[in-house]
Each structure stands twice: as structure tokens, then as C-alpha cells.
Amino acid sequence: MTPSTSASADAPDPRRTAYDESFPAPAKAAIVGVGLLGGSIGLALRRRWPEIEVWGTSRNEARRRLAVETGCVTRAVADPAAACRDADLVFVCTPVGKIAQHCTALAAACPSRTLLTDVGSTKRQLVAQIEQDPRAAAMFVGSHPIAGGERTGPGHARADLFQGKRVVVTPTAQTDPARLRQAVALWQTLGSEVLQMSPETHDRLLAGISHATHFASCAVASILRPDELPLVGSGWRDTTRVAAGDPQMWNDIAMQNAGPISQRLGDVREALDRLIAAIDSGDSAALLQLLTEAQTLRKSLPAASAEHAPRSGHPENVSAARTDPAPGD
């Protein structure tokens, strides 16, 4: 259950040394869905292998043009199958609800040597779907880069988006060992620290550290009346920040990872019930213990380095902002 890192100790500069030279340098990569992540993969690949051909796809013409103009890809087309023809690497970067069908369709359009991967933030369900197709199963290794940014689209892509970030790779019993090694080496080459775990472990872990947090934040946000909003302080702003996220994207994630998310939201509800019970009964001792446990856990979080959390402007090593008087006496 504890994730294990597969980063090799003797790779001080992963960009230069991690890619396993027993795999040939890729001549062509395809990125299905050139958004922030797909675009950043393109930039990172082109920085590492300046000769590489990178084809990107989008159904949106303006986005295709932008992907080429920003150098994320060398060529952009609408048809995923056309982009993947002869590709050594294929990255499926669409919303999670569409990843499995893309992978299955594209496996048939690619040469059998192709490494097929994705960037979806859920894994169990889509990996299981892909593995129902033997050809796709043999070519696919699931990936989830824990990286992103406030802004979306190829216009905000960065070649160093994965530098120092974690990427979870989710092999199964059906995964081809050579392709797994290739996927690990590839993400390390793009600067990431690679963790390996099963799709099930990934989904349980992400349900806690990301998905349930998102839905709980939405629950907190939703209780305010619009006329109360102008009075909120920085505490409410931060606690509910993620609730501004795209409903369709989070709906897709919930549908792909319902069980673990529901279980973790149940944990939040139980924690809430304990707090409410302590407050209702005036049980200071119980409340203090619950608050101290939460504080201890939160304070034990390693400080965000500039690389790991560039979006968060406030330092993590100061105590919580308060709209309340500092105890002065």
C-alpha cells in the first residue's frame, strides 16, 4: 500500500541520464488533446530530443493553431488516428471519461512497438476497460502526473511543468515489463519522480489527497448565501478555492472513482459529526483533542518548495491566517 519510488539513485540530472538508452530515442510522439498537460509534454519532449516530431490533436481549430505557434507540437491535426500513425509514444490527455475509448481505438492505429500512456487522474476503471482489448493492453501503461496549474490550454504549457513533480505509473499483471521500464524512464527524463502502484491503490490514494478534498470544499462553499459573500476573509477564500474548478471534469472523476471517493467523503462526514457532537455538548476536552489532531497533521506537511507548489503564494511555514485576535494576554 505504501507507494515505492522507482527513481534511480544514480541519476542526478534526470533530464540527461534517466532515459534508458536501450530504448531507441523516439522519432515521433503523438499527444491526443493538447491542453496544459499535453502541451507541456510536447515542450518537454522537444527540449529533450530536438529532432523529435510531435503531433498534437484537438477538435478545436484555434487550439490546434495555438499548440503549433507556442511550439508545443510540430504539427496539429483534428484526427487522433492520423496523429498516432507511426508514433513511438502516444499520450492520451483527454478528460478521464474518454481516455479508455481513445486508447483502444488508437492501439489499432499505431505500430505494435508504440508506448501508449495517458495523464488521467483516475486509473482503476479506465485501465480495466483498456485491458479488455488485448492489443491495447499490451501497449498501455497508465500514468498520472501530479502537476498542473491554475490556467488551462497549450498557451500556458511549460517545458518544466513536470520537473520535480511526481508521476504515478500504474502497472498491472498484464502490463508489458519493457513498456513499463520505458514509461518510467520517459517520465524521469521529463524531470519527474516516478511512483509505481496498482490502479486500485492509486485511486484510493487520490480519493483522499485530492478528489474527496475537492468535493468537501464544494460542500463548504455551497452553504453561504450570496449576500454573505462580500464579508468572507482569506480563510474562506482558501478553503473553497478548488470549488471554482470545472464541474464537468470533476463529475467525470467522481463517476470513474465513485467508491473510494464516497468512502473518503464518508470519513469527512464522520470527522464532522465528531466535531459537531463536541460543540453541541460543550465538550471542550474532546473538541481540543480533535482540533489538535487536525492541527498536528496539517503542520506536519512538508513545506511547499517553489518547485512542488509554485501556484501557492503563501509560505507554508507560518501559522494559519486568522480573522481573529491574536491571544494577547
Nearest to 68 by CA among 13, 25, 31: 31
**Dist. CA 223–CA 173, nearest whole Å:** 45
In this chain, which of 27, 279, 305, 307 binds its own copies, going by CB under 8 A?
A: 279
275 is a contact residue toward its own copies (CB under 8 A): yes
Q: Which is nearer to its own copies, 59 or 113 (CB)?
A: 59
Site for its own copies contains 306 (CB under 8 A): no
Sheet of 115-118: strands edge to edge?
A: 75-77, 53-57, 28-32, 89-92, 115-118, 140-141
Which of 48, 57, 162, 189 is close enough to bind its own copies by CB under 8 A? 57
Is position 132 an interface residue for its own copies (rule: CB under 8 A)? no
Q: Among all chains, which residue has been given the C-alpha cell 533530464?
A: 15
* Candidates 21-29, 45-53, 132-140, 279-287; binding stretch for its own copies (CB under 8 A): 279-287
Q: Pick from 16, 134, 291, 305: which binds its own copies (CB under 8 A)?
A: 291
- Which residue in 16, 128, 178, 295 binds its own copies (CB under 8 A)? 295
**Distance of alpha carbon 168 from alpha carbon 197, whole angstroms:** 7
Please give the residues from 226 up to 255 whose contact with its own copies meets the rule CB under 8 A.
Answer: 226-251, 253-255
From candidates 11, 68, 77, 304, binder to its own copies by CB under 8 A: 304
The region of 14-22, 128-136, 174-182, 285-293 touching its own copies under the rule CB under 8 A is 285-293
**293 binding its own copies? (CB under 8 A):** yes
Contact window for its own copies (CB under 8 A) among 105-113, 124-132, 178-186, 280-288: 280-288
The smaller minimum CB distance to its own copies, of residues 135 and 269, is found at 269
Cross-strand partners of 194: 167
